[in-house]
Amino acid sequence: MKREKNNNAVEKTGGKALIIEARFYTEIADKLADGAARVLEAAGMTVERASVPGCLEIPAALQFAAESGQYDAFVVLGCVVRGETRHFDIVCDESNRGVYAVTLANGLALGNGILTVDTMEQALERADVNQLDKGGDAARAAVTMLGLKRRWAA
């Protein structure tokens, strides 16, 4: 079944966004970050990027950045490809658990673009801005959540 990417327009929010990207699969990380940056810039946001070695390091980096108070929105990006051991399950579960614990504890506007896939082919399709553009989807989610946060803070 062929899926189509989300082409939803993004609201002009302005502000400063941080993309935290796991660099374990560099080609996937680059594609995800490209899609996310395009959407955030279209929303009028200043974009910074921070790299971590893998998805398990994302929650700690997110916490450090949240504590800095420098950012209005966050996008987390990475890729976990199923292997032959339980490591896939641990990385998927713990990175996502950590991301949402930090998000809820700090009231963050966040978009999650951590891919959890069975094959590299699936990862490439999801990361490519000309295919499913999951980095762009995560950035759209962050922009939407920032709009809601600002609406309810007013």
Half-sphere exposure of 117 (CA within 13 A, CB side): 18
List all residues 6 or more positions away from 123 whose beta carbon is below 8 Å from its beta carbon: 25, 28, 79, 81, 115, 117
Structure token pair of residue 126: 């999801």
Q: Is position 56 annotated as part of the catalytic site?
A: no
Residue 9 sits at the vertex; the CA angle it makes with 51 and 140, to the nearest 5 degrees, is 30
Cα–Cα distances in angstroms (integers) from residue 154 to residues 21, 58, 92, 111, 139, in the given order: 31, 30, 35, 22, 23
The catalytically annotated residue of 12, 16, 87, 150 is 87
* Residues 142 and 73 sit within 8 Å (Cβ to Cβ): yes
Catalytically active residues, by annotation: 87
